[in-house]
Homo-oligomer: A and B are copies of this chain.
Amino acid sequence: MTPETFKSEYGIDARVLHEVEEIDPENRRVLVKDLQSKKGRWEPYDRLLIATGAVPFCPKVPGSDAPGIYGLHSLQSGITVRNVVDTERPRRAVVVGGGYIGLEMAEALLLRGLEVSLVERGTQVMNTLDPDMGALVSKALVEVGIGLYLEESLEAFEAAGGRVTAVVTDRRTLPADLVILGLGVRPNTALAQRAGIPLGVRGAIRVNDRMQTDTPGIWAAGDCAESFHLVSRRPVHIALGTIANKQGRVAGINIGGGYATFPGVVGTAVSKICKWEVARTGLQEREIRQLGLEFATATIKSTTRAGYYPQAGPITVKALAEKGSGRLLGAQIVGIEGAAKRIDIFATALHAGMSVQEMINLDLSYAPPYSNVWDPVLVAVRQADREVRSAS
């Protein structure tokens, strides 16, 4: 790796000057490499925090090293793409991958006036939603003017004159002046693995509730580390800034000699594509089936504000609950402004282990600019409660 320099939004010039090349847990020391002199030296530690984050998946297809193809995994990579848009004025962009990064980049490029296509291998974008809710997002993408190509696999990139010129799928060739890769990330744990630090789910570093690894003196936090999923009650790897921040806080308190635990996550995430808001929390149908649980679902349509209020618009809320107990298992929301943040009600209820029956009478806020008298969340849990009863 060469020194990376960037100027942050806040005007701070930052530069990576050193890099840890090896960890030697036996002797509690790390091999630090000076990126300019290329020299290394061993440095001792009492406590070590591994916060190496995640690395983006890169497709192994012909032409993937052509200039004009960008992944987004650091502040610098975002700045680079913005500079390219500003200076090179690309006209056509192709986004590969329909996850959060792909969708948010598609929005950003669309708003900058580019013609945007999105290629996704799966049957839907946003695969952390159930197919029925994902279909609403696909529809929204098309509505805002994005060319959507589902169930198409990336096969190659074409280049000419030292620049990418097209994205080739198994069905077509899409001309492109700019390509964005949004194929997801995996924990960046090569360093930890070489040091023999035990890894867990999906290759993330295994940690306890205090963010300690199984190796004495070594802690891990952020996108490189596992979390505990409070609904599935299993370890999970979710690479999101909210979780990384919370883990970092807990690790920092503990490393500093305090005491803190990170109880876990419920899998909340939210995104925005032009006027459309998308949110999810808890488990989706596929995950619930994998756990062998039986469940009921309820999907309701309502409005973000009182129906007669200006700027009221559609919101679809899906709630998933366990048969028998009625325990809330997850929820998904697609709608216009004001829709997405409602997912936090479900997230809080998941933390508290509430049933949909208990949620029916939640004293949620109402005034016409914000909601109907029965908030869409309440309508969904009422319906889910009925489904749980009729199903069990």
Contacts and interface: CB of A to CB of B under 8 A. Distances in A.
Interface stretch (A45-53, A118-126, A152-160, A236-244): A236-244
Interface in A327-369: 338, 340-345, 347-352, 354, 358-359, 361-367, 369
Contacts of A354: 348, 351-352
Contacts of A338: 341
Interface stretch (A59-67, A193-201, A261-269, A315-323): A261-269
Interface of A (DSSP majority class): mixed
B340 A272 contact: no
Contacts of A375: 344
A279 interface: yes
A259 B378 CA distance: 19
A112 B36 CA distance: 66
Interface residues of A, number: 55
B370 A341 contact: yes
A362 B267 CA distance: 11
Nearest to A9: B308
21 contacts: A100-B367, A242-B366, A242-B373, A245-B373, A263-B361, A269-B367, A270-B367, A277-B370, A281-B363, A341-B365, A341-B371, A344-B344, A344-B345, A345-B348, A347-B364, A348-B348, A348-B359, A348-B362, A349-B352, A351-B363, A352-B354
Nearest 9 A/B pairs, CB to CB: A352-B352, A270-B365, A348-B348, A268-B363, A266-B363, A242-B366, A272-B369, A265-B363, A344-B364
Interface of A: 9, 100, 104, 230, 240-243, 245-246, 262-272, 277, 279, 281, 308, 338, 340-345, 347-352, 354, 358-359, 361-367, 369-371, 373-375, 377
